[in-house]
Amino acid sequence: MQTRKLGIANLEVSALGLGCMGMSFGYGPAQDKKEMIAIIRSAFEKGITFFDTAEIYGPLINEELVGEALAPFRKQVVIATKFGFKPASQDETHWSALDSRPEHIKKVVEDSLKRLKTDVIDLYYQHRVDPEVPIEDVAGAVKDLIQQGKVKHFGLSEAGVQTIRRAHAVQPVTALQSEYSLWWREPEKEIIPALEELGIGFVPFSPLGKGFLTGKIDENTQFDSKDFRNIVPRFTSENRKANQALVDLIGMVAKEKDATPAQIALAWLLAQKPWIVPIPGTTKINRLEENIGSTVIELTANDLQAIEEAASKITLHGARYPEHLQKRVGR
């Protein structure tokens, strides 16, 4: 697989990463651990060197899974994880409270290192901007961890442009992780130009629109009771029906290219900038292979223009997040 560099920090990773969240969290019950270890190791064997997790996924068990799966070839891969949450309930199963105080960061990094079975985290993201803690203090805490050799690179997730600039002035930001796909193009307005200016890489999560752009979901699809999509406005039955036009467009391009809709959606992202590295997640080996196939699909300038013109005529329905979660992004 080809590699890419995230920003001017030159953090070299495979052109496609693997988002590991769904193996433990977010889309229904946690999957079988042995099967997920096999998927992660298969991804490495097929050329993926960039793996994404977070302490909140599970919580905690996803980092343990990733750490165990990657231990045999730790030095050959890049592990990204995230900090910034803490339990909001006494039983510690419900993590919704933000906490990016420097003393908290310096405590939880030790816990993440243990779970990941490593002595250094390659890319350490603030998971969500904490309005109670100046971003300069957060960047300063991560700078200390970098100087101590516990972290190599600093990242932000779902941050707004001003936060990115302020953080970057204290400790250079290597990558921003935020949602971006043909289904969510908001980053094109301000975020992507700022990242280009500052030399920061971009790691889109949900590059397949939380599965919608694969063409395998329609208005009648029923999700597991624990599936996050049940509370996402874009995933109401009515909005799925209304947004089918975008999936149909991607499907038409896929037929022309002898590819799948998922491969076209990923190839489109890869064609946007050379420093964009999507991290689609999966729990199935055939989907992993399908996603990797996107890296050899070439969309020409004419292809991209045709997609742009057709997509511009489609009105997308439904908010990306419910209101209480939307308040935490773009700060």
Q: For residue 138, give the amino acid letter.
A: V
CA dihedral 81, 75, 61, 291 (to 10 degrees): 80
Place of tokens 């203090």: 137
| Rg of the chain (C-alpha set) | 19
CB 201 within 8 A of CB 274: no
Rounded distance between C-alpha atoms, residue 290 and residue 276, angstroms: 19
Residues that are catalytic:
57
